[in-house]
Amino acid sequence: MPHRLPLFPLGSVLFPGLTMPLHVFEDRYRRLMTDLLDLPADEPRRFGIVGIELGHEVGETSAHQLSEVGCIAEVHTVHRHDDGRFDVVVEGGGRFRVDAFVDADDEHPYLRAETTHLPDELGADAEARAERVGRLFALYCERLKGIGIPAEPPDEFPAEPLPLSYAVSAAMVLDQREKQDLLEAEHASARLELACDLLRRENRVLTSLPTLPAGQFMRREVNLN
């Protein structure tokens, strides 16, 4: 069933079940946060995060092309600064497909879209692929630690195929296009198969480049709007 959703374009990908910090300072997204906080207490405070494929985050006309698949962001915590900025932590809900963008107006100065919920299915051979991903991800973490880069302990990750597929997708250091491909995978089995291929590649890279700079792995950025 179509659903109209406020959108928050980002140069990052949010995955279901994972958290993301946001620093909100643009007027249109301050208005979005204010509108969400003004909702009755029993109504969900959510918006959609979509990846920016062409352009950048800041400025009303800066995002020229957006991904067609995004993730619902459930507002978890909010801190409002005296100057009107917000620090927000969101948690990924379900995935959605953008059916049509809705232009901003005076009442809603931020982008919105008509969206359709995307189901989360396991797919064939999900359990076996989850086991392979678990082994490859453990090796990935070991090789990161071997060159002095902190990594998430694999034993803290879920074992079930669907949440594992999202947790590993979020944890790997990849470019945005590859993260988006993981988000868009048809089901958990397809996502795990893609994660296997990417983990094998990254493990080869880490083996052949023992002096790989650690900067990109060690960043824990707050996403700006």
pLDDT digits (tens, 9 = 90+) for 34-51: 999 999 988 999 999 999
pTM of the full predicted structure?
A: 0.87
d(C-alpha 170, C-alpha 179), whole Å: 8
Q: Are 199 and 133 in contact (CB under 8 A)?
A: yes
The full set of domain ranges for the chain reads 3-118, 126-215
pLDDT above 60: residue 69: yes
Q: Where on the phi/psi map is residue 30: left (φ > 0), alpha (ψ -120 to 50), or beta?
A: alpha
In the predicted model, what is the mean pLDDT of residues 153-168? 88
Those residues with Cβ within 8 angstroms of residue 216's Cβ, 6 or more apart along the chain or in another chain: 173
Q: Could you give the CA distance from residue 52 to residue 62 in angstroms, rounded to a whole number?
A: 9
**3-118 is classed CATH 2.30.130.40:** yes
Residue 223 has pLDDT above 90, yes or no: no
Q: What is the mean pLDDT of the chain?
A: 87
